[in-house]
Structure 1
Amino acid sequence: MDVEPDLFTAAAEDRQEKDSAASPLAVRMRPRTLDEVVGQRHLLKPGSPLRRLVGEGGGPAGASSVILWGPPGIGKTTLAYVVSKATDKRFVELSAITAGVKEVRAVIDGARRASGGYGKETVLFLDEIHRFSKAQQDSLLPAVENRWVTLIAATTENPYFSVISPLLSRSLLLTLESLTDEDLSGLMDRALAEERGLGGAVSLAGDARAHLLRVAGGDARRALTALEAAAGGALAKGEPEITLETVEETVDRAAVTYDRDGDQHYDVASALIKSIRGSDVDAALHYLARMIEAGEDPRFIARRLMISASEDIGLADPQALPLAVAAAQAVAMIGFPEAALTLSHATIALALAPKSNAATNAIFAAREDVRNGLAGPVPAHLRDGHYKGAAKLGHAQGYVYPHDVPGAIAAQQYAPDALHGRRYYEPTRYGAEARYADVAEKVRERLRGEGG
């Protein structure tokens, strides 16, 4: 019995017709096979789960559900489409932002009719699945368990937190990695040369390519969209090459003089940290903006901020380091563009925090003494006494347990003889460190047996 294709089927089967000369470059360059997929080499190796999913290598064509986890613009939708093409299945795409249980049920009903009526199985690609509520995700379970559809769900958030356990346990979880400049550069080369792309109509200057990569920010769709606009600008002017000037005009974004592998990378990073150290919040934000606009890795910026929190702020604001660490964790989870807000938050807080390099100076001074051989044996009463014969050697004998004395500070020697009385930590009176300065002085008095 023939079954008339439903609305979703018709829309899905029209997708190929969109891959025409009138379609956007990003659509025309959409991979048709796994071998054309950009990046994700860890998922595309022979015998990998993704290869087996499409039936390559003699393996089963088989998972009933797949979850693709990764940042935006790296090909989650594309992978789902390639899987449907490779397995000759209908491709239906829904977004959890606009679709609900009603739409999901309609797709599932259509998939069951298509399968029973003319033997055509269905791939349901559900974007932003983390936006579905628990009840909405529950509605997918019967279709997954009974293999009425091959569900391919995409999420930019950790699926262990955003996807219900029953669905997660029935799914093949594939983690996608951010695209590198090398990946995007190769994609642009193909788009420039291939007939379905620009067909060799224009070439691309080196500085123009670098600016396009910065504009793309690791997003393949954005890279191709910008390249298409720049190519249109060059052809409109009758120029055979896409220049930096044309790219700046067409994407309406000035190029930033910044070499991520050269002096500019280190100079601007240095200026950022020195501006934070100098408490010039506006200069710090300027250098942060330059790094962001140049396409700097946000994780690199976050690492520099964590170092600054210990090196230049220390105990003057004990919350500076936890804040910087939290910012680094947030940046790793969300990526650009939203990570710019987190980096701004942390940069402002660190720039305006009270400053102290006392912790930095303390460890530098202590390490310098160790390097110079100023050490000496550990005092006998501090040595390990948890083995047979330790007492005969005098180890751990005479040690005063601090918790047994008032104030929990025992008047006894801790440093080796050669370093007894030597001071490394010299606290400032800035911010919260003023309290640590008072405490340190009182503790030293008690250790010397002075004071009450």
Structure 2
Amino acid sequence: MKPLADSIRPNSIEEVVGQEHLLGKGKILNKMLSTGKITNSIFYGPPGVGKTTVANLMAKASNKSFYKLNATNASLKDIKDIVDELDSLMNLNGVILYLDEIQNFNKKQQQSLLEFMENGKITLIASTTENPFHYVYKAILSRSAVFEFKPIGHEHIEIALERALELAKKDFKNINIKADKKILSYIATLSDGDLRRAINILELCINTTDINDQGILNIDEEVVKNCCAAKILNYDGNGESHYDILSAFQKSIRGSHVDASLHYLARLIKVGDLISICRRLLVIAAEDIGLAYPNAITIVKSCTDAAMQLGFPEAKIPLAEAVILLATAPKSNSALVAIDRALEDLEKSYISEIPSNIRDGHYKGAESLGRMQNYKYPHDYPNSYIQQQYMPSSIEGNTYYEPGNNKLERNAKEYWDKIKGKI
């Protein structure tokens, strides 16, 4: 018996659930399927969202021969075998090559397809779970349209599960399979946008549940929990999802949205990425809170040290403390802006020598070189301040630091403006 996920694979565009932004009426892939004019394409998105299904439908619509390779285990020989058949009678209309997981092909393997993409003998439909702009050879990208497939919406997964359940009931003619909408909704939640996973959970429940005396196979929440221990999140520790979550995490804290910050922290905790959490929290304390609350980095360092020492699950507590502190703290990026301006000057400006009065004079012969001869020791003057030259002459007057609009920095500015006689 075929797997349930394969049995319900759509045979027409009308049966496909989700991806309305690509397959809806008037959308680009819908138009390709209706005309049969298929272009080189790269399908990018998480597992179980319909990439293979749409590729099959495009091959069917094009009236071309269909070949399928998985780059995980395919080789140059597999490509050569397809190329050798291009001029055969069965391939007169051309070939559609569906290359799954194209990111696993090296540059040479990807380049081997270019000539045949150019002359139209091969129409490439490649799929990948990784961002193609990071992993696919640029010459392939320039000859292909990139289509991003989104996770399947909860309501669409429920619709597909209802179809799968009806099909399963036909296969098990003498058994009454029962799974109400609440259970299907629960399975949809566990799948996290992966339709294939949702159907596989349902199939596992059907295949492993005992039939009662009344001939009923009842799928309840306990059955589902036994078949699926935990929800699996779409996360790759070294891939795009990793950086997307970290980016959302920092931007939510920077934007002072406590609940969103905790949501992305929870995602990172769920996958056990303790090192990334701690590193990012320390960066945020310096970059986004900065001088508005300088003690934040000290507190965050204590929280992250505690988290590293505790490990999960207890590490979640000091991490949550740090996140809430940072999200609710006043914000200032003045330190980041200041150091970036100083670094930019080093790249773009002529920098003259360090003024002699502040160069090192603690060695024999320094006096003859004029080192530190006119240096004025600030602590010998009122308020420990005296005006003298510190910047190289070529950039004297350049300003890097501008105080942020927060209480601490405003007070510091007011203090120094008074000392320096500016107010």
| 1:241 match | 218
Match 2:98 to one of 115, 125, 131: 125
1:45 aligns with 2:24: yes
1:177 aligns with 2:147: no
The separation in 2 between residues aligned to 1:345 and 1:169, in whole angstroms, is: 46
- C-alpha deviation, 1:27, in angstroms: 0.8
- Unaligned 5+ residue runs, structure 1? 1-21, 256-272, 274-283, 294-301, 322-343, 363-402, 415-422, 428-435
CA contact (8 A) 2:299 2:322 kept: no
| 1:141 match | 114
1:160 aligns with 2:133: yes
The 1:317–1:133 alpha-carbon spacing in structure 2 relative to 1, beyond 3 Å, is farther
What's the secondary structure of 2:72's corresponding residue?
coil
**For 1:241-390, what aligned pairs fall within 5 Å after superposition?**
241-253=218-230, 288=266, 292=270, 315-316=294-295, 359-360=329-330
The 1:217–1:139 alpha-carbon spacing in structure 2 relative to 1, beyond 3 Å, is same
One-letter amino acid of the structure 1 residue matched with residue 266 of structure 2: L
**For 1:217-228, what aligned pairs fall within 5 Å after superposition?**
217-228=192-203
CA deviations over 1:391-443 (Å, ceiling 9, x no partner) = xxxxxxxxxxxx9999889xxxx9xxxxxxxx98455xxxxxxxx7xxx7654
The separation in 2 between residues aligned to 1:36 and 1:240, in whole angstroms, is: 27
RMSD: 4.9
| 1:327 match | none
CA contact (8 A) 1:129 1:163 kept: yes
- C-alpha deviation, 1:74, in angstroms: 0.7
The separation in 2 between residues aligned to 1:240 and 1:196, in whole angstroms, is: 10
CA deviations over 1:190-231 (Å, ceiling 9, x no partner) = 111247976794232344223312321111110000011112
| 1:448 match | 418
CA contact (8 A) 2:191 2:231 kept: no
The separation in 1 between residues aligned to 2:230 and 2:177, in whole angstroms, is: 21
- C-alpha deviation, 1:361, in angstroms: 9.2
The separation in 1 between residues aligned to 2:96 and 2:298, in whole angstroms, is: 49
CA contact (8 A) 2:269 2:316 kept: no
The 1:105–1:346 alpha-carbon spacing in structure 2 relative to 1, beyond 3 Å, is farther
The separation in 2 between residues aligned to 1:357 and 1:234, in whole angstroms, is: 47
What's the secondary structure of 1:177's corresponding residue?
coil
CA contact (8 A) 2:9 2:53 kept: yes
What's the secondary structure of 1:202's corresponding residue?
strand
The separation in 1 between residues aligned to 2:317 and 2:92, in whole angstroms, is: 58
- Unaligned 5+ residue runs, structure 2? 233-252, 254-261, 272-279, 301-313, 333-390
CA contact (8 A) 1:203 1:242 kept: yes
- C-alpha deviation, 1:108, in angstroms: 2.1
What's the secondary structure of 1:151's corresponding residue?
strand
CA deviations over 1:322-351 (Å, ceiling 9, x no partner) = xxxxxxxxxxxxxxxxxxxxxx99997675
- C-alpha deviation, 1:101, in angstroms: 1.7
One-letter amino acid of the structure 2 residue matched with residue 222 of structure 1: R
1:204 aligns with 2:179: yes
- C-alpha deviation, 1:254, in angstroms: 8.9
CA deviations over 1:32-56 (Å, ceiling 9, x no partner) = 11211121111113343323333x2
1:23 aligns with 2:2: yes
| 1:377 match | none
The separation in 2 between residues aligned to 1:107 and 1:167, in whole angstroms, is: 18
CA deviations over 1:42-96 (Å, ceiling 9, x no partner) = 1113343323333x2xx4x223411111122211111111222333433321111
CA contact (8 A) 1:33 1:86 kept: no
What's the secondary structure of 2:196's corresponding residue?
helix
The 1:360–1:170 alpha-carbon spacing in structure 2 relative to 1, beyond 3 Å, is same
The separation in 2 between residues aligned to 1:151 and 1:319, in whole angstroms, is: 54
The separation in 1 between residues aligned to 2:66 and 2:317, in whole angstroms, is: 45
| 1:75 match | 50
Match 2:38 to one of 46, 57, 63: 63
CA contact (8 A) 1:80 1:125 kept: yes
The separation in 2 between residues aligned to 1:65 and 1:78, in whole angstroms, is: 16
- C-alpha deviation, 1:164, in angstroms: 2.5
One-letter amino acid of the structure 2 residue matched with residue 288 of structure 1: A
One-letter amino acid of the structure 1 residue matched with residue 29 of structure 2: L
**For 1:80-95, what aligned pairs fall within 5 Å after superposition?**
80-95=55-70
CA deviations over 1:158-202 (Å, ceiling 9, x no partner) = 223322233222222222111111111110011112479767942
Q: Which TM-score applies when normalising by structure 2?
A: 0.58
| 2:77 match | 102
One-letter amino acid of the structure 1 residue matched with residue 418 of structure 2: R
The separation in 1 between residues aligned to 2:324 and 2:177, in whole angstroms, is: 55
- C-alpha deviation, 1:234, in angstroms: 3.9
One-letter amino acid of the structure 2 residue matched with residue 223 of structure 1: A
The 1:244–1:357 alpha-carbon spacing in structure 2 relative to 1, beyond 3 Å, is closer
